[in-house]
Amino acid sequence: MTHMFPRWTNHLPTAVAVGVPLLGVAVVLGVYYFFSPYYTDVGYEPTQPVPYSHALHAGEMGMDCRYCHNTVEYAAHAAVPPTSTCLNCHKYVKANSEKLSLVRQSGETGEPIPWVKIHQLPDYAYFNHSAHVGAGVGCVSCHGRVDQMEEVWLHEPLSMGWCLDCHRNPEPHLRPVSEVTNMAYDPVAAGYDPSEDPNRTREVNPPVHCAGCHR
């Protein structure tokens, strides 16, 4: 009786037995990493219509975040500033700069500057800045060292799992409310203990149920 299959096929079952699970693991790990926002979203750095440098304004010159994002302490949105905020200074500083032509144009016509959104949550997730700032979560926790970014890029994945990591265990991410906009502050190095902070009137108790963020 002749062999119906060539000899090398004898190794096939072994190869399949070893290869398929390996492949499966590879696919799972691949999807887990490459399809996750850690890979797809972090580092997203679109080109903005105006080459505004956070490194210069917030870093070098040390402007407080709240000078421009002034609604952050009492509203859900840390609103992108209106053109008039830019022009408060740039009426006088670099008033003729080529890079600022769109800003001047917007100030004259009233047409908004079309900034590109970087920190984007799905429409069914309702994030509130004031709640986080009020609890002493620093800007840097979610946005990274914006004061060192020439053009802002997405520093954290902003995925639900990433949110929940902190909501389940907020303490390491808390700092005194006065240090919220201090990009260089490190609560661990400073030895900050929220339970000892006399300015805290209540325990931080972030929601971990669905309706905390979805409604």
Partner 1 sequence: MTRETISAAGPHNPGRRNFLSAVGATVASLQTAACIRKPYEKILPYAERPEDLVPGEARHYATVWNVGGAVQGLLVRSTDGRPTKVDGNPNHPMTGGSTIWAQASVLSLYDPERSKEPVREGEGVSPDEAVGFLKKLPDEIGDGSGLAVVVPELPSPTADRLWEDIRAKYPKAELYRFDGAGTDHARAGAAMVGIEGAAWTTDGTPTVIAAFDADPIGTEGDTTAFTKAFAAGRDPNRKPAEANRLYVVEPHVSITGSNADHRMAVKGSEVGDFLAALAHHLKKGGLNVPTLDAPKDKLDSKFVKALAKDLLSRKRGSTIVMVGERQPAHVHALGFVLNEALGNFGKTLRFTKQGPTEVGALSDLVRRMNDGSVKQLVVMGSNPVYEAPADLNFGELFQKVPLTIHLGLYRDETGRLATWHIPQSHYLESWGDLRAREGTTAIQQPLVAPLYPSLSPIEFMARLTGAESKGYDLVRATHQGAISGGFDKRWQRWLHDGVVDVGQAPSFVPSVKTDGLAAAYKFRAERAQGLELAFVRDNAVLDGRFGNSPWLQELPDPITKIAWDNAAVVSPNTAEKIGVPNNLEQSSVRDTVMVDVSVGGETVRLPVWVQPGTAEDVVVLSLGYGRKHGGKFAKSGFDVNSLRTAESPYIRSGAKVTPTRKGYAVACMQPEASMHDRPIVRDATRGDFTDEPNFVEKFEVMDEDHVASLLWDEPEYTAEHQWALTIDLNSCVGCGSCTVACQAENNIPWVGKEDALKGREMHWIRIDRYFEPKHSDQVEVRYQPMACVQCETAPCENVCPVGATVHGPEGLNNMAYNRCIGTRYCSNNCPYKVRRFNFFHYTVRNDADYGMGIAMQRNPDVTVRYRGVMEKCTYCVQRINKARIHAKVNGDGIIPDGTVKTACQEACPADCITFGNIRDPDSKVSHTREDPRNYAVLSELNLRPRTTYLAKLTNPNPDLAEG
Q: Which residues bind partner 1 (CB under 8 A)?
A: 35, 40-41, 46, 71, 73-77, 79-84, 106-107, 109-117, 120, 122-124, 126, 128, 130-131, 134-135, 201-202, 205, 207, 209-212, 214-215
CB of 88 to partner 1, least distance (A): 11
Q: Which is nearer to partner 1, 91 or 214 (CB)?
A: 214
Q: How far is CA 79 from CA 67, 178, 184, in A?
A: 11, 20, 23
CB of 18 to partner 1, least distance (A): 22
The pair phi, psi for residue 196, each rounded to 5°, is -95, -10
* 152 phi-psi bin (left φ>0, alpha ψ -120 to 50, beta other): beta
Residue 157 is encoded by which pair of tokens? 């994945």
177-206 burial code (b ≥16 CB/10 A, e <16): bebbbbbebebeeeebebeeeeeeeeebeb
CB of 27 to partner 1, least distance (A): 11
CB of 11 to partner 1, least distance (A): 21
Residue 167 is encoded by which pair of tokens? 């909501």
Q: Which is nearer to partner 1, 51 or 112 (CB)?
A: 112
Q: How many CB atoms lie within 10 A of CB 211?
A: 8
Q: Which is nearer to partner 1, 10 or 178 (CB)?
A: 178
CB of 70 to partner 1, least distance (A): 9
Q: Which is nearer to partner 1, 12 or 75 (CB)?
A: 75
Q: Which is nearer to partner 1, 21 or 30 (CB)?
A: 30
